[in-house]
Structure formats: C-alpha cells, structure tokens
Amino acid sequence: MNKRRWMIGTAATAALAASGLFTLSSLTATPARSAESTRPVIVVLGDSISAEYGLPRDTGWVELLRKRLAQERIDYSVANASISGDTTSGGRARMPELMQRLKPSVVIVELGANDALRGVPLSTTQDNLRTIIEQAQQGHAKVVLVGMYVPSNYGPAYTQRFHAMYDTIAHNMNVRLVPFLLAGIENRPEMFQSDQMHPTQEAQPVLLDNVWPVLAPLLQKK
C-alpha cells in the first residue's frame, strides 16, 4: 500500500498535538440514553477520524451509520464516544464508565494510530486494546475492532507489526475485524483534508462501507 500521504500526515498531526488542537474534546454526539433506554446501543470508541475532526457537525461516518440503521430499519441507537487525539490508554480509562452508563450491545473500537504517533510501545497498545475488548465482553457486548496503518517512515518492520497486531488480537479474542478503516481512499489525496491525515466529508461514506459488512451481521433486525 502506498503510504506517502501518511508520511506527510505524521508531521501535520504532530504539529496539531503540539499546538493543543489535536487533544481531548467533547463527544461528537451526547451518548445519553434517556428516551432511547429500551433500544440496544452501539458505542463507537475512537479518535479524531471517528470524532468528525475538521468536518461539519453530523457528517462523519458515525452519523452516516445512524442514518443507515434507520434506512435498514435496524432499531439501534449510536453513541459516539470518540475523542480527537485519544489513545488506547484514554479509551481503556473511559471504558468502565461507558459500559456502566450505556450498557452497549456492540462496541466498535477505532484506536491505536495516536499511540504510534506518540511513540507508545506496541506492547502497551496491544495490552490496552485487549483490556478494552475484555471490558466490553465482560459487559456482554459484541466487539468490532477497526484496524489502521502507521506512516511508512516508521520503517517497514514496525509498520507491518503494527497492522498485524489488530489481526492477532481479533483472532485471539474472537472479535470481528475491519482490516483498514481507510481502505479505498488511501491512495486518493483528494479524499483527505489539508493535513493529509483526516478524511474529508466526501470520504465518509467509504469509511462506513468498510465498517458496515463487519458490523451488520452482529445486529438483530426486527
């Protein structure tokens, strides 16, 4: 896979992190259950790519997921617990409260890329992802793990090990895997914002189409 864009994006993301723009922010959708308490919940635990970074509100792939569920008459609510700049450590720390409050039926885990950008040891990332999945499974939630790549300037050995980590975890923990969230746009610079890291609004349907075939079999239709 051509990861030229990811090499450019690494510097841009680092600059955002240094400037404080690529940091924890509010959820892109308030995951309160209230009136929807009887509906099963899908929680999306992700980073900026799922938190609509740089996009008009309610145009990201998670919002498109809500619309597709309605179109398909699949009666689930969606809580977007994604935070820009989040790492697997952050997701791990937030999981107990999310599980207790939302009691999700499905958890989509889209984390890990920021760990690599911040130099977190791969063993730590792997341990955090495993713990997140265990926390979800202990709450009787089904899990979809979303794979990512890191920039090629990290070296081919590390790049391969990082991506293979997702497949290993999914296999060992018996969870569904989306191999690569950005599949189909990775070689299309026009599908990325100026930082060449975050997908544009036009790319969001592709992201959803990458997730949907893995997620849909886990959902119960009326």
Clarify whether 115 is annotated catalytic: no
Amino acid (one-letter) located at 53: Y
Instruction: Concatenate the DSSP letters of all residues of 130-173 into one string.
Output: HHHHHHHHHTT-EEEEE-----GGG-HHHHHHHHHHHHHHHHHH
Cα-based angle 83, 87, 92 (whole degrees, multiple of 5): 90
H or E, element range at 9: helix 4-19
Task: Classify 86 as helix, strand or coil.
Answer: coil
Clarify whether 167 is annotated catalytic: no
Residue of 47, 48, 77, 115 marked catalytic: 48
Q: How many CB atoms sit inside 10 A of residue 165's CB?
A: 19
Residue of 19, 86, 198, 209 marked catalytic: 198
Residue of 47, 86, 115, 195 marked catalytic: 195
Q: Which residues are CB-contacts of 144 (< 8 A; sequence separation ≥ 6)?
A: 106, 107, 108, 109, 175, 176, 177, 178, 211, 214, 215, 218
> Two tokens at 107?
């958890």
Clarify whether 171 is annotated catalytic: no
Q: For residues 68 and 48, what is the distance between their CA atoms, to the nearest angstrom? A: 21
Q: Point out the residues that are catalytic.
A: 48, 195, 198
